Amino acid sequence: MSVAKLLVEELQEVRPLFDRLRSLADDRTFLGKFRDGLEFVEWFKSFISPVLRINYNTGAYWIRSTDIRGVVLWTKQGAWNEWAANSVLAKAVTDYRDYVEPEFIPLLSHQMADEARHFYLRTKILALAGESLAGFKPIEKWVQLFEFPLRCAAERLERPYFQAKFSGAFQTVELTATVQHRGVVENAHLNKALWQGPHAKVAEALVNFSREIEDDEAFHWSIAERAWAKYADTPEIRSEVLRCAVPALELSTVAKIARIAAAEGVHVEI
């Protein structure tokens, strides 16, 4: 069975979790039980752990079985993702600056610098494989994913709602990326064929990059932790957070599986 098809089966098992989260977004009694925003953050991370496990597996399963062609296709989509992430952040701190909490401007600017560096490193990996982004068209699920955070946050153009909602969507995607890259790093050594022949240097560069980006993505997720810890102090704001975070979590997981399906050259219904 292809990795993508196996992951689709795992995703189906956790679909009820997404439904439960959507229902909790409407449950003000439940959302009022948290002492503060920090407790809400910790609950969210714990509750979605089955989904994070699937995101880990998108890295782990894929790297164990892929070949150089798969690495190239994976990296092309990844490079586009870095460009798209930077575009979203730039728009957030310019077009929506009046709704971004001032203390988060430096953090988002730091993240923009990270995304630019990630783009450069991914294109260097492509160059090692004799490839580039020329003619690349992104997977539609990823286009939808990067369009979502600002669209969702803009439904409430007020402070601090915009910040909480934007972080809820955008940085939740970063959390899923953190565990995916960990899956790549911890399992790459199991794919012996990838480390043999002229493309071994590509595999080495990919793993080194994934190790570095894991740390960066963890910092990016911490931006959401800070925002929620400070502002998710009422059932209303927690509800708004979930309305952005849950669709982003689901779409991010689906997009990762679609990326693997494209790298494998298989069709899956997600």
Output the pLDDT for position 213: 87
Output the pLDDT for position 218: 86
Q: Average the pLDDT over each of 50-59, 71-80, 148-157, 218-227 and give the range with the smallest value.
A: 218-227
Domains of the chain listed by start with CATH number? 3-264 (1.20.910.10)
Residue 1 has pLDDT above 80, yes or no: no
Between CA 133 and CA 260 the distance in angstroms is: 18
270 three-class SS: coil
Q: What is the pLDDT of residues 96-121, one digit of tens each?
A: 999 999 999 999 999 999 999 999 99
Output the pLDDT for position 175: 92
Residue 236 has pLDDT above 80, yes or no: yes
Mind giving me the DSSP string for 49-86?
A: HHHHHHHHHHHHHHHHH--HHHHHHHHHHHHHHHHHHH
Output the pLDDT for position 224: 86
Our measurement of the distance from residue 86's CA atom to the centroid of its chain's CA atoms, rounded to an integer in Å, reads 13
Output the pLDDT for position 265: 87
Output the pLDDT for position 135: 96
